[in-house]
Chain A
Amino acid sequence: DAEITQSPRHKITETGRQVTLACHQTWNHNNMFWYRQDLGHGLRLIHYSYGVQDTNKGEVSDGYSVSRSNTEDLPLTLESAASSQTSVYFCASSDTGTGDTGELFFGEGSRLTVL
Chain B
Amino acid sequence: QKEVEQNSGPLSVPEGAIASLNCTYSDRVSQSFFWYRQYSGKSPELIMSIYSNGDKEDGRFTAQLNKASQYVSLLIRDSQPSDSATYLCAVNRAGGFKTIFGAGTRLFVKA
Chain A contacts to B: CB under 8 angstroms:
31, 33, 35, 40-45, 48, 50, 56, 58, 90, 94, 96, 100-104, 106-109
Contacts and interface: CB of A to CB of B under 8 A. Distances in A.
A74 B44 CA distance: 19
Interface of B: 8, 32-34, 36, 42-46, 49, 88, 90, 92, 97-104
Contact of B101 (A40, A43, A94, A96): A43
B99 A104 contact: yes
A60 to B, nearest CB: 12
Contacts, number: 58
Given A31-B97, A90-B44, A102 B103 contact: no
A106 B43 contact: yes
B104 A106 contact: no
A2 to B, nearest CB: 15
A103 B49 contact: yes
Nearest to A40: B103
A48 B8 contact: no
